[in-house]
Structure 1
Amino acid sequence: MNKRNLITKLALASLCALGLSAAHAAPGDNYPSRPVKIIVGFQAGGPTDVTARLVAKALQDELKGAFIVENKPGATSNIASEMVANAHPDGYTLLVAASPLTMNKYVFPQQKFDPIKSFEPVSKISSAPGVLAVSPKLPVKNWQEFEALAKKKPESLSYGSTGQGGTQHMAMLRLEQLTGIKMVHVPYGGTTGVINDLMGSVIDVAFMTSTGAMPNLEAGKVRPIAIAGPQRLPGLPNVPTFKELGVPDMKSESWNALLAPAGTPKPIIDKLAAVIQKAVKSKAFKDTLIPQGSMLIGNSPQEFKAELNEEVAFWADQFKKANIGN
């Protein structure tokens, strides 16, 4: 064999080896190799945005790539969700979603994505329970007094929500189902209107998400009387849960989670999930989210997928009972 033929064969062998190596490389081995967009369906500065920026920082620090938060508010987060659902499933467009993801299909029957089929769940990051709060002028100091007043005067008390079919509205309908009380619904265009009118005693009661309302709750500007979560909140240690009050099925939460478009390779999903599971144990997450009333979770993709399936089925039943949506 002459020298030229030997060099040619060695070169071809090297190229084949490189090709085989590339062919056998897992999709997530070099991830990320370019900037990743994290889409948020709510305005900057809100609870979901704060969580998304913590997630972006954790992913950037751990995976040594650029993770950039982009806010796409509108249609109760549907604009952002649809954008990610239609993105190429390569791990470079992610979604930090909130609980309306599993409810919106019943409020917006024409939405162009499915909360289960359109996404690969990565991990539920955190969850904040609903807090039932009354106006400062309502003559009740606890749940028992409130329930007695509501039953004594059916449909005389008013409750606010962010709109028909929203988290607050559905929580209150659930409470009415479980306890037999009847109240008048006053829908608002957003959380600010509900909080302001509850503080001003324009309405009597509302469910409030602990992450957004904790300063007003702790300051006593409204009176919290029950927690719709599994445990008492550190910032409201004297406020009992509905389970403690004898209404164990009264649960309402607002969660944040990381998802990717359906079809995103499993190695990328697993890599992202591992970072979230580590990050929720960090000081940065604990110091930022726990004081706001959040509980840190960081479950696996499989666990989160099971929860999504259960939640979508639950809301299908609840919206049917309420005769809302399709």
Structure 2
Amino acid sequence: MRWMKRLAAATFLVGTLFSAGPAASADNYPSRPIRLLHGFAAGGAADTLSRIIADGLSKKLGQPIIVEAKPGAGGNLAADAVAKAAPDGYTIGLVTGAHAISAATYKSLSYQPAASFDMISTMVYYALVIAVRDDHPAKSLGELIAVAKQKPGSLSFGSVGFGSTHHLAGELLNAMAGIDIVHVPYRGDSQSITALLGGEVPVIVGTPVLLGPQIASGAVRGLAVTSPTRTALLPNVPTVQEAGIKDYDVRTWAGLLAPKGTAPAIIAALNRATLEALRDLELRQRLETAVGGEVSGSTPEEMKKLIETEITKWSAVVDRAKIPKI
């Protein structure tokens, strides 16, 4: 009978250890550096945002946050890496609006944009800008649309890659303006701007953070921003709606997520640290200056709802524009 008592005690002890494992690991979280992945080129908007929030999170969590760029497939390579990482809170990801778009532009993904992750919080929302080189004959978006209508398919626009918000912003303009400007994907904002300046493409859809200095210098002309109202970073650039494209509205966003199955206590700790970081006035200013956008945190549930809503929205845009899925 003694061996039965010992077996019962051992079984109870093992069960207790396993049930207490996640809670115990969350109690001292984080105890080592955290890796923050994003899916776009170094030096671009996502990279800039990642480094700003990494600085804020590091101060709140007391551990280094190591930013790693893993560009490719409109952010999908990084998202896949995060989805497959250990759900221990030591690998997290920064995603943009392109994360939801992937569900609309790919026939299949190795992960589910909503179901494969535990959301942490949104960070910031921001517009894009449609721009041409300074020597382009179009002085306004209306003039560019007129040229595109006169010679369908003769113009092209560069973006950060197929399936990005930048790409679909251009495709939505095509659909709503009744034009056909051909998409040319690049690997990041910096490369698309280089292509514009070098004459590879006459038009790009880019981020205000990188196009702003080019516009200020006169090398590039900003024709329109994609939000319903003008952005603080480019106050003199009109909106697409001001050019007569009623109801046109494209704003991308950035947020943080973790692999599915991350302990709720760790998600709560990351959400709390993110919201606290976003309340810091200096950090808010850095984020807003970086993308000319609006800082806005959220609950994990609100971020999940945003992604699900965006998937529905962009699926409709893809279908309407008859964009073939990859």
TM range (shorter): 0.7 to 0.9
Corresponding residue for residue 88 of structure 2: 90
Corresponding residue for residue 166 of structure 1: 164
Does the CA contact (< 8 Å) of 1:26 and 1:267 recur in 2? no
Distance in 2 of aligned mates of 1:258 and 1:63: 15
Corresponding residue for residue 324 of structure 2: 324
Distance in 2 of aligned mates of 1:180 and 1:90: 49
Corresponding residue for residue 209 of structure 1: 207
- Relative to 1, partners in 2 of residues 1:173 and 1:75: Cα closer, same or farther, differing over 3 Å? closer
Normalised to the residue count of structure 1, the TM-score between the two structures is 0.82
Query: Which of 35, 38, 42 is matched with 2:36 structurally?
Result: 38
How far off its partner does 1:308 sit?
Answer: 0.3
Corresponding residue for residue 298 of structure 1: 297
Distance in 2 of aligned mates of 1:88 and 1:234: 40
Query: Which of 140, 144, 147 is matched with 1:146 structurally?
Result: 144
- Relative to 1, partners in 2 of residues 1:183 and 1:67: Cα closer, same or farther, differing over 3 Å? closer
Which protein has the larger Cα radius of gyration, Structure 1 or Structure 2?
A: 1
Distance in 1 of aligned mates of 2:44 and 2:182: 28
Corresponding residue for residue 314 of structure 1: 313
**Cα deviation 1:243-267 (Å, max 9, x = unaligned):** 3444343233343211011122323
Structure 1 residue identity aligned to 2:251: E
Structure 2 residue identity aligned to 1:312: I
Does the CA contact (< 8 Å) of 1:42 and 1:77 recur in 2? yes
Distance in 1 of aligned mates of 2:42 and 2:234: 26
- Relative to 1, partners in 2 of residues 1:97 and 1:151: Cα closer, same or farther, differing over 3 Å? same
How far off its partner does 1:105 sit?
Answer: 4.2
Distance in 2 of aligned mates of 1:210 and 1:104: 23
Paired residues for 1:257-296 under 5 Å: 257-295=255-293, 296=295
How far off its partner does 1:106 sit?
Answer: 4.8
Q: Give the % identical residues.
A: 36
Distance in 2 of aligned mates of 1:26 and 1:248: 54
- Relative to 1, partners in 2 of residues 1:261 and 1:144: Cα closer, same or farther, differing over 3 Å? same
SS at match of 1:285: helix
Paired residues for 1:75-86 under 5 Å: 75-86=73-84
Does the CA contact (< 8 Å) of 2:208 and 2:233 recur in 1? no
Paired residues for 1:60-79 under 5 Å: 60-79=58-77
Structure 2 residue identity aligned to 1:94: I
Does the CA contact (< 8 Å) of 2:96 and 2:252 recur in 1? yes
Corresponding residue for residue 98 of structure 2: 100
Q: How many residue pairs end up in the alignment? A: 309
Query: Which of 219, 227, 230 is matched with 1:229 structurally?
Result: 227
- Relative to 1, partners in 2 of residues 1:293 and 1:231: Cα closer, same or farther, differing over 3 Å? farther
- Relative to 1, partners in 2 of residues 1:196 and 1:38: Cα closer, same or farther, differing over 3 Å? closer
- Relative to 1, partners in 2 of residues 1:23 and 1:187: Cα closer, same or farther, differing over 3 Å? closer
SS at match of 1:103: helix
Corresponding residue for residue 183 of structure 1: 181
- Relative to 1, partners in 2 of residues 1:298 and 1:192: Cα closer, same or farther, differing over 3 Å? same
Deviates more, 1:180-189 or 1:272-281: 180-189
Does the CA contact (< 8 Å) of 1:128 and 1:211 recur in 2? no
How far off its partner does 1:222 sit?
Answer: 1.2
Does the CA contact (< 8 Å) of 1:123 and 1:300 recur in 2? yes
Corresponding residue for residue 239 of structure 1: 237
Gaps of 5+ in 1: 1-14
Deviates more, 1:296-305 or 1:103-112: 103-112
Corresponding residue for residue 127 of structure 1: 125
Distance in 1 of aligned mates of 2:190 and 2:132: 16
Distance in 2 of aligned mates of 1:87 and 1:30: 20
Distance in 1 of aligned mates of 2:67 and 2:291: 23
How far off its partner does 1:119 sit?
Answer: 0.5
Does the CA contact (< 8 Å) of 1:136 and 1:201 recur in 2? no
Deviates more, 1:28-37 or 1:271-280: 28-37
SS at match of 2:224: strand
SS at match of 1:113: coil
- Relative to 1, partners in 2 of residues 1:117 and 1:204: Cα closer, same or farther, differing over 3 Å? same
Distance in 1 of aligned mates of 2:191 and 2:57: 35
Gaps of 5+ in 2: 1-12
Structure 2 residue identity aligned to 1:127: Y
How far off its partner does 1:200 sit?
Answer: 4.3
How far off its partner does 1:52 sit?
Answer: 1.9
